[in-house]
Amino acid sequence: MDKGYVLDSYALMAHFEQETGAERVEKLLKAAGARKTALYLCAVNLGEIYYSVLRERGTAKAEETLTILVQLPISIVDADKTLAVLAGALKAAHPVAYADCFAGALAHQLKTKVVTGDPEFKKLEDEVAIEWLT
């Protein structure tokens, strides 16, 4: 098995909304389900997905999305002190959304790639490996 991938909220939203990159995310989910790779999501980014869906589509859709998400073959990683400090260091060094810094910090900690299509991650390319959704 490879080192796996950290999914950013952008990648999962692309999957749920069938937007650009959804096919790649689906392939990663299938590979994770077959135990050929590992997928990770920081709990902070899970919250980001929840609030985005809640704001755009309401409580029922947010709860449905959360129910589906936690059943996917993705390990949800809590933001402990070490991860929070690493995310804080990324935020201090780069003008990037704080939640994105948690995805970047988790990828850095796991020595793997963030899967995203969010252009904000271009600012982190020198510190975090990124697989771009196209």
Domains for the chain: give ranges and CATH numbers.
5-132 (3.40.50.1010)
Q: What is residue 37's predicted lDDT score, i.e. its pLDDT?
A: 97
- Return the amino acid letter for 26: E
Q: What is residue 134's predicted lDDT score, i.e. its pLDDT?
A: 82
117 touches 134 (CB < 8 A): yes
What pTM was estimated for this model as a whole?
0.95
CA distances in angstroms from 70 to 49, 75, 94, 100, 127, listed in the order given: 12, 9, 30, 20, 29
Q: Is 12 exposed, middle or buried (0-12, 13-18, 19+ CB in 10 A)?
A: buried
pLDDT tens, position by position, 2-61: 789 999 999 999 999 999 999 999 999 999 999 999 999 999 999 999 999 999 999 999
Q: Distance (Å, rounded) from C-alpha 7 to C-alpha 28? A: 10
Q: Distance (Å, rounded) from C-alpha 102 to C-alpha 95? A: 13
Q: How confident is the model at residue 1 (pLDDT cuts 50, 70, 90)?
A: low
Mean per-residue pLDDT, 120-126: 94
Give me the percent of the chain exceeding a pLDDT of 70. 99
